[in-house]
A and B are shown apart, each in its own frame.
Chain A
Amino acid sequence: MRTRLTLLLAVATLLGSGCAKKEAALTANSGSNPTPRKVLHFGNGTEPQDIDPAIVTGTPEYRLLQTFSEGLVSEDPDMQIIPGAAERWEISPDGLTYTFHLRADGKWSNGDGVTAQDFVATYERMLNPVLACQYAYMLYNHVVGAKAFYDGKTTDFSTVGLKARDARTLVVTLTQPAPFLLHAMNHYAWYPVHIATVKKFGGLTQRSTAWTRPGNYVGNGPYVLKKWIPNQIIVAERSPTYWDRARVKIDEIDLYPIELADTEERMFRTGQLDVTNEVPLTKLAVYRREHPESVHVDPYNGLYFYRFNVQRKPFDDVRVRRALALAIDRESLVKNVTLADETPAYNFVPQNLLGYRSEHTFKADLTEARRLLAAAGYPDGRGFPRADLLYNTLEKHKTIAEALQQMWVKNLGINITLVNEEWKVYIDDQHSRNFQFQRAGWIADYIDPHVFFDLWETGGGNNDSNWGNAEYDRLLHTALGAPNNPARYAIYQKMEQILIAEMPVLPLFNYTRARLISPRVKGFYSTPLDNYPWKYADLAP
């Protein structure tokens, strides 16, 4: 009898709530507005770590920071530089001094004016070694004196080339020309923080503080942080103080941290989401067939590749590396396996990145691949030693590796072994170069071909292939001093020739970003940084 009672109770609990459907959307409906509020429901990937630009490192965080704050300059949806907190700027002829003029109506969300001093104080905090900001190098790689300050050689910030001439003029002095600096400045490493708020909730050098909580947080972006329930929702509300607020059309953005693409897709179907972060691969074809209006696939500024360890057998032999690179059918891989219109990569930089087009690409060439392999001492793959391909555990990486494994068996007669590891173990093995060859990806932090060349500098922090080439390094630095972009790009062409001849990594394809977007969302798409300036988006009623 007791059991029956429990049963009844359970059923009552389950059904007691009635049909509260859709109250779930949690729209903070503030009463009876004459015009309906425009609320965008957005899938934002994993749970963000924080929204302090000095702390975070990921893409979901990037999107949030762009929602709640704004740098000196900004980018429009076509990645052209547009004014941000600065209304105009001048660059000295030698490319070393940038003078930014802040706009008069720039305001923080608490009504304070945005000043040049705010930026300087933010950068001082960013470069403070005690805070240990992971992106500090975005500043100290370029700015005069910043490295010395970061290394603690001086504690006098006036030695650093970041100065407020007056409340509305900021001067940045560089150690060497950086033609991509404005694009790099749209990265959150350059975004300002409201120093008084940071000080109030724990201080400038404290990593764990509550200043980024709702209620505490003060930003200068198009939206303000209204609510943040971890692993559930972040509510961003239109800022009443943002200088360009007239242009902001969506009243509220609800950002949902959802890890599973399948969950997102189901939420999209019930109307809980307007924009998803991803699309489950097998669903893409279905949506293309049945709801083509909802599918959006845009290029993404990144390269998917396999990295060789050029000091480990058999990949110490450039012929083996080239043979593997030439013996796979990237078109088939993209069409049948990765499925999201990725561009097969036959070079090392996404094509047409800020006007850069590589003239030097390689081709899939089976005869040449077999010749190279034979020349390396493995005719038809005979005697090829055990070669482990390391990848981190993810369905997509596994499928790609399985497909390539079979292509190499068929085309070259070599049987590689697939080894998967949990993410951090895999990264640890990568950085300690404890692998033969591994799957890898590189997503650029800002738009410029330089990002992809910088990667392969000898001993570079993210090179990890043990590959190095003195001529390549020399060209990399010469390029930065080039008088204009065409001259710079000409040098990059030479560098790609070196990469193709040496093949330290095996390029596979350039990423794309696939999303489901409800037709009621207007003017929204993924930019190559997987980012979007919200003020250009709108919602149909």
Chain B
Amino acid sequence: MVSLSEKNLPSADVTPDQLEQGSSLWHDAWARLRKNQLAVAGGLVLLVLTLLCVGGPWFSQTYQDQNLDLGATPPGAAHWLGTDTLGRDLFARLLYGGRISIMVGLVATFVALTIGVTYGAVAGFLGGKTDRVMMRIVDIMYALPFTIFVILLMVFMKEPSEKLDGWLRGTLHLEGLQGVGNMVLLFAAIGAVEWLTMARIVRGQVLSIRRMEFIEAARSLGYGRRRIIFRHIIPNVLGPIIVYATLTVPAVMMLEAFLSFLGLGVQPPMSSWGALIKDGAEKMEEFWWLLVFPGSVFSLTLFSLNFLGDGLRDALDVRASND
């Protein structure tokens, strides 16, 4: 009966309600967010970093040009952030690497978030047998050896991925887009693991509120399950979701560095923040700048993301008092 009403009155039922509720909720949230200076600062820093990484490489030096005789040099006028052991400009490598890392961090986190939140919310809300089966599936996915999964993924997807590259190169002449197949695989690999913990957290939260009065009220009003989950349940567990999402971003960026060990992800001479930090960590005693600058940018990104996340959480918290 519940699903019937939804099917009968799709747009008529949803639209006015959504407009009314949605506009005020998001509008208020936006207003609150703007008042939070730290969150605004965090957002701005993220924006600037992203713009720099996207646009910067057009005016910086190239990431691959080497000067073997120069080798690693400390920051100076010619190379603002110094050079690596092959004499490559670190600033340029950071910017190019940022493209990869920011994209991986955001896209993969988004993938993990979408799957994990939906999965966890559905399992938690439906409960019973469905929940048990869904959670046992999560247990199974957790326990399967990740390294082996990734190697298999690459072996079986190698041909389709190369075909895609060949098509991009041959038919579309978009040589710059080569490796897209590889990147898609990368997202698939990361997405396959990172959503699991998210699903468990969301399920735990949902279980704790599914018996609360406002959910019961929504039920008694005859709202459909989908509507309850996406409109009533998820908004009320957004806090932990946002917090865990901000924790997923650094984990994903570092996971990317591990996956490149297996040959998945960026191909040298291109780099990523994770790879740069790994490289810098090995050489930190001799060439401090190789660790300090990538590490700082990485940290700056995470701090900003975090403050933005906290601000968002506060802004979306409908019950928050104004203190």
Contact = CB atoms under 8 A, between A and B. Distances in A.
B86 A399 contact: yes
Contacts, number: 68
Interface in A409-430: 417-422, 425
Contacts of A336: 68-69, 71, 86-87
A406 B262 CA distance: 23
B134 to A, nearest CB: 32
Given A337-B68, A425-B151, A402 B269 contact: yes
A402 B263 contact: no
B285 to A, nearest CB: 7
A393 B279 contact: no
A526 B87 CA distance: 32
B261 A422 contact: yes
A398 B286 CA distance: 20
B86 A403 contact: yes
B268 interface: yes
A395 B282 contact: yes
Contacts of A283: 285-286
B282 A403 contact: no
Contact of B282 (A280, A393, A401): A280
A419 B279 contact: no
B267 interface: yes
Contacts of B286: 282-283, 285-286
A262 interface: yes
B223 interface: no
A282 B267 CA distance: 23
B287 interface: yes
Interface string B259-273: 011110001110000
Interface residues on B, range: 20 to 34
A399 B263 contact: no
Contacts of B66: 402-403, 406
Given A283-B285, A393-B262, A418 B268 contact: yes
Interface in A241-266: 262
A137 B261 CA distance: 34
A422 B262 contact: yes
B155 A401 contact: no
Contacts of B155: 425
A419 B263 contact: yes
B85 A395 contact: no
Most chain A Cβ neighbours within 10 Å, of B64, B151, B269 = B269
Most chain A Cβ neighbours within 10 Å, of B260, B267, B282 = B282
Contacts of B260: 393, 420
Interface in B58-88: 64-66, 68-69, 71-72, 85-87
Nearest to A405: B269
Contact of B279 (A337, A386, A395, A421): A395
Interface of A: 262, 280, 282-283, 285-286, 332-333, 335-337, 386, 393, 395, 398-399, 401-403, 405-406, 417-422, 425
Interface of B: 64-66, 68-69, 71-72, 85-87, 151, 155, 169, 260-263, 267-269, 279, 282-283, 285-287
18 contacts: A280-B282, A332-B69, A336-B71, A336-B87, A337-B68, A337-B86, A395-B282, A399-B85, A399-B86, A402-B66, A402-B269, A403-B66, A406-B65, A419-B267, A420-B263, A420-B267, A422-B261, A422-B262
